[in-house]
Amino acid sequence: MTTKFVVGYDGSAASRRALDFAMERAAAVGATLIVAHVLEWSPYSFLTPTELEERHKRRGEELARAENHLMAPLKSQLAGQGVTVETVIRYGHVADTICDIATDSGAAQIFVARKGESGLAARVFGSVAGTLAQCAPVPCTIVP
The CATH number that applies at residue 8 is 3.40.50.620
Domain count, the chain: 1
Within 8 A by CB and 6+ apart from 24, the residues are none
Q: What does pLDDT average to over the chain?
A: 88
Q: Are 7 and 110 in contact (CB under 8 A)?
A: yes
Query: Looking at residues 42-53, what average pLDDT do you find?
Result: 71
Radius of gyration for the alpha carbons in the chain, expressed in angstroms and rounded = 16
The one-letter amino acid at 113: A
State residue 84's pLDDT score.
Answer: 96
- The range of the structural domain enclosing residue 106 comes to 4-143
Q: How many CB atoms lie within 10 A of CB 25?
A: 18
State residue 56's pLDDT score.
Answer: 77
pLDDT-based confidence at 124, cuts 50/70/90? very low
Query: Looking at residues 86-101, what average pLDDT do you find?
Result: 95
Query: Looking at residues 135-142, what average pLDDT do you find?
Result: 96
State residue 3's pLDDT score.
Answer: 97
Q: Are 71 and 63 in contact (CB under 8 A)?
A: no
